[in-house]
Amino acid sequence: MASSHRKPRSAGSRIAGIWTPADDGGDRSPGEVEQKIDDLYRRADSATERRSAPKRTQKFNSVRGKPSSFTATPHDHYDQAQLMSRLAARRKAAADAHVTERSTTTESLQSTGGTRSDPRTAKVAVQKKLSTARALLSRSAARQQRQEAAAALARQAVAFARAQVGKPYVVGAAGPGSYDCSGLAQAAWKAAGVTLPRGTTGQANAGTTVPLADAQPGDLVFFHDDVSHVGVYAGDGMMIHAPKPGAYVREESVHYGDASVIHRVVRPA
């Protein structure tokens, strides 16, 4: 009597010559199926690399003509053609990535003036650019230091001028008890270590002319076409000056008088 028992199911199967684990009963989720397909791809790629092209082609053709054993559940129903399609698509993506990397490397070398076959030229070009960058940074740092030093001197001049507020205007006086306009400007900058001429005409030519809109604390503001009056700019449109006989040193707007016309602004330092 023939046995009623069926032959035990194989513990695994082969796809494209690759041994795969036996099915687990059809309880796989789509994510698990995708993971299994990825594992099959990795196994297929490893096995393919160890075989020659003719042998690989013959093996795939022999398997393509047979029914796939990987049909245990609906989720696992991926036949040999689908596996080969995934394999081909991934290889194409890898090849495209390789071509892109080579192209990027070539462009990078060309941008630095070198080529793959001439790394010394590329190195020289890079070193030249680095030297240029260092020189620019050095000049920028030196310029910033000069500006900071000049600003520090200007703050000292303004502080000195402000400390004289309330002292009387006296023609020809340059302190310490009284001042005329140019005497105050001269004394203020002397306190900062900068020597200025005694009169307004000389002071108007003893520095760099700047627009009123760019005036900074410490700059000298000259009035009238004959530059007969000067004040020390304090910032925010204000200045400290000795206005005229009978008045006192005070801080007020650079537009303090309708008859006054700002002639120029000079930066001593």
Contact assessment for residue 216 and residue 151, using Cβ atoms and an 8 Å cutoff: yes
**DSSP β-bridge partners for residue 14:** 19
Catalytic residue status for 98: no
Can you tell me which residue has the tokens 């000069």? 146
Can you tell me which residue has the tokens 């120029």? 264
Paired sense of beta strands 208-210 and 18-21, if any: unpaired
Can you tell me which residue has the tokens 């035990």? 8
**Furthest-apart CA atoms within the chain: distance in Å:** 142
Contact assessment for residue 220 and residue 210, using Cβ atoms and an 8 Å cutoff: no
Catalytic residue among 77, 229, 255, 263: 229
Catalytic residue status for 5: no
Output the 3-class SS for 242-268.
Answer: CCCCCCECEEEECCCCCCCCEEEEEEC
DSSP category for residue 248:
B
Catalytic residue status for 77: no
Catalytic residue among 77, 241, 255, 263: 241
Catalytic residue among 181, 224, 255, 263: 181
What positions carry a catalytic annotation? Answer: 181, 229, 241
